[in-house]
Amino acid sequence: MSFLRRYAQNVGALIGLAILVVVVLVALAAPVLYPVSPWQGVGEPLLGPFEDPAYPLGTDLLGRDIAAGIAYGARVSLLIGIISTAVAVVIGVALGALAGFYGGRVDDMLMRFTEFFQTIPAFAMAVVLVAIFSPNITSITLAIAVVSWPPVARLVRGEFLSLRSREFVQAAVVVGQTGPRIMATQILPNAISPIIVTASLMVATAILTESSLSFLGLGDRNMMSWGFMIGAARTMLREAWWLSVFPGVAILVTVLAINLIGEGLNDAMNPHLRGRKG
């Protein structure tokens, strides 16, 4: 209750939420709004924006509707952003929990492993992974997950490390609960709010990474995506600016909205930090 009220006090967070709701609705309604595949040419080629009211954002070289492409692209961006983040959070929570709860040698080894993944250039690694396992929606999602879990692992480890010595955990140990059960039912629920904040910001980064990959031609060939549209329009920048401007605005607005939501969640969940932002 008070959480919702605190969130609602943050204007930026409300704007972000409103934008995201619109993006989600557009993504869901894409097949209804644009029954023809976004890969199919529907109008005259290279119509400028607002030249033909049927295609308000114009068409590309093959007469494909830019607005339809953006609507279908929203599906890909949100899908990959959410699923890859979910996978990364599962990996990060599992490794971080083990490291923080058991400590000692387990902690050492897992943290070395995490540090390794944190050091190597994330985007270059994502490119290599997707290229080698050939670009499709699964390889892209997994590659993004593989390069984005380390911060979650570190965060969760820190939380587990500090919660492990609390009295309620010791009580659970005395009662005879097993390690995995204590981690899942005692510690994890108490560490959940920073994980949610981090995860929400990771969705934004994942969408940026996905668009960068598909810009480089590492997108799923069967799914229209924003990055792909910009990449394909790159050589036509001089003749047809709208081909690359509108998909870019779509990425910017979506990522911005998610970042605003993430910050709003952070402020609402950690009210004691509010003064810092002032």
Partner 1 sequence: MKTLEFLIQRLAKAAFVVLGVVILNFLLIQLAPGDPAAVLAGEAGAGDEQFIAQLRAQFGLDQPLYVQLLSYLQNVLSGDLGYSYRNQVPVADLIMERLPATLLLTGSAFLFSLVLGIVLGVLAAYKRGSLGDSLIMTGALIFYATPLFWVALMAVLVFSIHLDWLPPFDMESIGAGYTGWARVMDIAHHLVLPTVTLGLFFTAVYTRLTRASMLEVMNLDFVKTARAKGVPKGRIIRRHVLRNAILPVFTFASVQAGQLVGGAVLTETVFAWPGIGRLMFDALMQRDYPVLLGVFLVTAAVVVLVNLVADLLYRFVDPRIETAG
User: Residue 69 CB, nearest distance to partner 1 (Å)?
Assistant: 15
User: Residue 246 CB, nearest distance to partner 1 (Å)?
Assistant: 11
| Binding piece for partner 1, criterion CB under 8 A, among 29-37, 59-67, 120-128, 171-179 | 120-128
Q: How far is CA 104 from the centre of its chain?
A: 33
Terminal-to-terminal C-alpha distance of the chain: 23
Structure letter (DSSP) for residue 182: I
| Helix residue spans in the chain (DSSP H) | 2-8, 11-33, 66-102, 104-119, 122-132, 137-148, 150-164, 167-175, 179-181, 192-215, 226-233, 242-269, 274-277
Interaction between residue 112 and partner 1 (CB under 8 A): yes
Interaction between residue 211 and partner 1 (CB under 8 A): yes
Torsion, CA 234, CA 236, CA 238, CA 242, rounded to 10: -80
Interaction between residue 132 and partner 1 (CB under 8 A): yes
Q: Name which of 272 and 276 has its Cβ closer to partner 1.
A: 276
| Binding piece for partner 1, criterion CB under 8 A, among 68-76, 99-107, 190-198, 252-260 | 252-260
| Binding piece for partner 1, criterion CB under 8 A, among 71-79, 80-88, 95-103, 132-140 | 132-140
The closest of 114, 109, 197 to 148, measured between CA atoms, is: 114
Structure letter (DSSP) for residue 168: H
User: Residue 62 CB, nearest distance to partner 1 (Å)?
Assistant: 20
Interaction between residue 110 and partner 1 (CB under 8 A): no
Contact 135, 221 (CB under 8 A): yes
Interaction between residue 122 and partner 1 (CB under 8 A): yes
| Binding piece for partner 1, criterion CB under 8 A, among 71-79, 153-161, 192-200, 216-224 | 216-224
Q: Name which of 193 and 212 has its Cβ closer to partner 1.
A: 212
User: Residue 237 CB, nearest distance to partner 1 (Å)?
Assistant: 6
| Among 93, 202, 260, 261, interactor with partner 1 by CB under 8 A | 260
How is residue 236 written in tokens?
A: 């036509």
How is residue 147 written in tokens?
A: 């390069």
Contact 254, 19 (CB under 8 A): yes
Interaction between residue 261 and partner 1 (CB under 8 A): no
Contact 153, 96 (CB under 8 A): yes
Cβ burial, residue 120 (10 Å; 0-12/13-18/19+):
exposed
| Among 34, 101, 160, 215, interactor with partner 1 by CB under 8 A | 215
Provide the binding-site residues for partner 1, judged by CB under 8 A.
Answer: 112, 116, 118-125, 127-129, 131-134, 204, 208, 211-212, 215-218, 227, 230-231, 234, 237-238, 241, 244-245, 248, 251-252, 255-256, 259-260, 276, 278
